[in-house]
Amino acid sequence: MLIEFGWSLDGAAWADGTGTTGSVRLGPRGLVQLLQSRLALTRPSVDPAVRIAQYAKAIAEAEHPWPRESFAVDPWATAATMLSWRDAAVMAGAALQPREGLPARLEALCAIEQVADLSPGAADDLAELVALLQESPWPLGIERLLCHEAPESLPGSWPRLLALLGEGGVEVTAVEEASAGRPELVLLESEDEWTAAETAARFLAGREGRAVHVLATEDTILLDQELRRRDLPALGVAAASADRTSLQILPLYLSIAIAPVDVQQLGAFL
């Protein structure tokens, strides 16, 4: 199997080129889920709200003085914030075991961790994979992993996970950048929408038959006027409006078509 891995590729349905068998694009969550299925570590997902409630219960049981005042004012927000810190620490490889000399925040996280009955999250899944692969290499059925980012630049335990995959026989390589380099992005700013419409129309008129994709998030009335002046097809994007003629006339028609006739409605219809 060939895996193309990128930090922002989770949920990406698009891909350059045609589809191929044995090749897949994955982000961090997708790669973790794939490795979990190969290593028989899959488990039901847990809603984030459930984990926050579990962590709030653990904070109350730990009774550590550091988060006490915030927890008394807003238990849910305090639990959500501290849970995000806890997950970040676990993703970075921290064991969260209490010891002398820790900062107050880490000391509180360690104390809460000792009493927490917490469902595993994404950080725990990553830590479990790293721990299992460190014990012994397992056959994963993955021949090559193309990484869009440098492995050492990834956060937390991700560099270690990719290194373990390499030690287990997976060829981990960086994706080669295209020779043309990164695409250019030109941003145009204008004082008013009329100037912007004229400039955009001139830009579209100079494409000389090349493919053009226009993403219009507002109505294109002014742009359409400039395009018609240059004998170009209009985009025809209109802003959404609740003032539809059909929606105004239909209720009036129904009110006068059913007896008894309302004279005032008939006058409004005419």
**For residue 13, what pLDDT is reported?**
55
Kindly tell me if the per-residue pLDDT of 14 is higher than 60: no
Q: Are 132 and 138 in contact (CB under 8 A)?
A: yes
**For residue 111, what pLDDT is reported?**
94
CA 124, CA 157: separation in Å to the nearest integer? Answer: 11
More confident: 269 or 230: 230
CA 138, CA 157: separation in Å to the nearest integer? Answer: 19
Q: What is the pLDDT of residues 164-195, one digit of tens each?
A: 999 888 899 988 765 556 667 888 888 888 89
**For residue 1, what pLDDT is reported?**
85
More confident: 11 or 216: 216
Q: What is the pLDDT of residues 107-138, one digit of tens each?
A: 999 999 999 999 999 999 999 999 999 988 88
| Cα angle value 84/89/95 (rounded, 5°) | 130
Kindly tell me if the per-residue pLDDT of 9 is higher than 90: no
Kindly tell me if the per-residue pLDDT of 254 is higher than 80: no
Q: What is the pTM of this model?
A: 0.62
Which range scores top for mean pLDDT: 7-16, 176-185, 208-217?
A: 208-217
Q: What is the pLDDT of residues 72-113, one digit of tens each?
A: 999 999 999 999 999 999 998 888 998 888 999 999 999 999
| DSSP element (H, E) containing 3 | strand 2-5
| Cα angle value 11/13/18 (rounded, 5°) | 145
Torsion angle of alpha carbons 124, 127, 132, 136, nearest 10°?
170
The CATH class of 2-43+123-174 is: alpha beta
Q: Using omega within 30 degrees of 0 as the cis cutoff, is the peptide bond preceding 260 cis?
A: yes
**Ranges of each domain in the chain:** 2-43+123-174, 48-118, 193-229, 241-270
**Start-end of H helices in the chain:** 28-38, 48-62, 68-73, 75-91, 104-115, 122-135, 158-167, 193-205, 221-229, 245-257, 263-269
Mean pLDDT estimate for the chain = 85
Q: Coil, helix or strand for 171?
A: strand
Q: What is the pLDDT of residues 31-63, one digit of tens each?
A: 999 999 999 999 998 999 999 999 999 999 999
